[in-house]
Amino acid sequence: AADLAKVHGLPRQEAIDDVFQADVLTGLSRAQKMLPSKYLYDPEGSRLFEDICELPEYYVPGAERAVMEQALPHLAGLDIEDAALVEFGSGASVKTRRVLDSLPWISAYVPIDISAAHLAAAAASIDGDYPDLQVVPLAGDFTQRLTVPAEVRDRPLFGFFPGSTIGNFTPEEATGFLANARRLLAGGRLLIGADLRKDQAVLEAAYDDAQGVTAAFDLNLLARINRELGGDIDLAKFRHRAIWNEAKSRIEMHLESLADQTFGIAGWRFAMKRGETIHTENSHKFTVAQFTRLASEAGWRVERHWVNPAPEFAVFLLRD
Ligand code: AVJ
């Protein structure tokens, strides 16, 4: 069992907060206003995202679970010993348990998450339930260059990046992430989930559900700006929209202004026209061929992949 008093990366939390303010002010100063989607996941946003994962319209978790069940028997038989599972964006570490239960060659776990509080709680819970597992949480932004904690540096590393979070990146960012992960995993493998292209109506419903949970998740980003940066944004003057962008093969989340308005954040004022939007998230949808090309641009080759037929979702096992 691990010493959880020592969460790697924690001293940098203030630096992370300053970057949040800078990113918000910069993003809202652009012609097309935007906010980086990673900021959707404060404690409230992470809780709302867990609710999204229970929605009938949001097929991603169910499709990924089904395809993971195909992959796990193969993975269990891989010739690996005493490996560390490195999870990018571990959240509540829910999907991890099935992996830990199925892969006997994992003896250490390195959850990486931007939300330090969420990370500590999830790591403690895994630590309690897996007494023989060495748990080494790493608080930080995995879109930045990270290094693996010394405790696990000499073990084989097995990366895990489920949920199609890779879809949040632009193609350039995705290649950058995959190249970073390849460096970090130092000769290891990466198991990664990627959502596939499918019917537009299915996609739009998945990102704009009937109960309005996704809308609350999106609007929480404005609430977070009010809470953490002293903003005075009136949430009632915005509505959530999910728009399929065919040319870029992605679902876009936007917050649309319902009126001509101005609002203040940290001493700055911003103006928006009625109908103007703040772009808050991209969720790219791939074909197997497209994703294989993306991985190869970062130096990975696809050792194997599994596909859920409908709703279409893929899991790729990448090898250095
Ligand atoms: C966590 C990035 C995989 O893009 O499907 C879900 C985030 N946003 N509903 C996705 C999300 C709105 C989700 N990922």
Ligand 1 centroid to residue 48 C-alpha, Å: 11
255 CB less than 6 Å from ligand 1? Answer: no
- Tens digit of pLDDT for each residue in 7-53? 676 555 666 678 899 999 999 999 999 999 989 988 899 899 999 99
User: What ipTM score was computed for the predicted complex, to two decimals?
Assistant: 0.98
Q: Is the whole model's pTM more than 0.90, yes or no?
A: yes
Mean pLDDT value across the chain: 94
Of all protein residues, the one whose alpha carbon is nearest to atom 13 of ligand 1 is 165
- The pLDDT, as a whole number, for residue 292 is 98
- Tens digit of pLDDT for each residue in 190-238? 999 999 999 999 999 999 999 999 999 999 999 999 999 999 999 999 9
Of all protein residues, the one whose alpha carbon is nearest to atom 2 of ligand 1 is 165
Output the DSSP codes for 100-145. Answer: HHH-TTEEEEEEEES-HHHHHHHHHHHHHH-TTSEE--EES-TTS-
- The pLDDT, as a whole number, for residue 1 is 45
- Nearest ligand 1 atom to the CA of 242 is 12
Name 158's Cβ contacts closer than 8 Å, sequence gap at least 6.
80, 83, 84, 85, 86, 103, 106, 185, 188, 189, 190, 191
283 CB less than 6 Å from ligand 1? Answer: yes
164 CB less than 6 Å from ligand 1? Answer: yes
- The pLDDT, as a whole number, for residue 9 is 65
> Rounded to an integer, what distance in angstroms lies between the CA atom of residue 104 and that of residue 38?
32
Of all protein residues, the one whose alpha carbon is nearest to atom 14 of ligand 1 is 165
- Nearest ligand 1 atom to the CA of 283 is 4
- The pLDDT, as a whole number, for residue 5 is 54
Ligand 1 centroid to residue 52 C-alpha, Å: 9
- Tens digit of pLDDT for each residue in 80-95? 999 999 999 987 788 8
Q: How many other CB atoms are found less than 10 A from the CB of residue 108?
A: 20
163 CB less than 6 Å from ligand 1? Answer: yes
Ligand 1 centroid to residue 301 C-alpha, Å: 25
Of all protein residues, the one whose alpha carbon is nearest to atom 8 of ligand 1 is 207
- Nearest ligand 1 atom to the CA of 163 is 3
- Tens digit of pLDDT for each residue in 150-162? 999 999 999 999 9
Of all protein residues, the one whose alpha carbon is nearest to atom 3 of ligand 1 is 165
Does residue 247 carry a pLDDT above 80?
A: yes
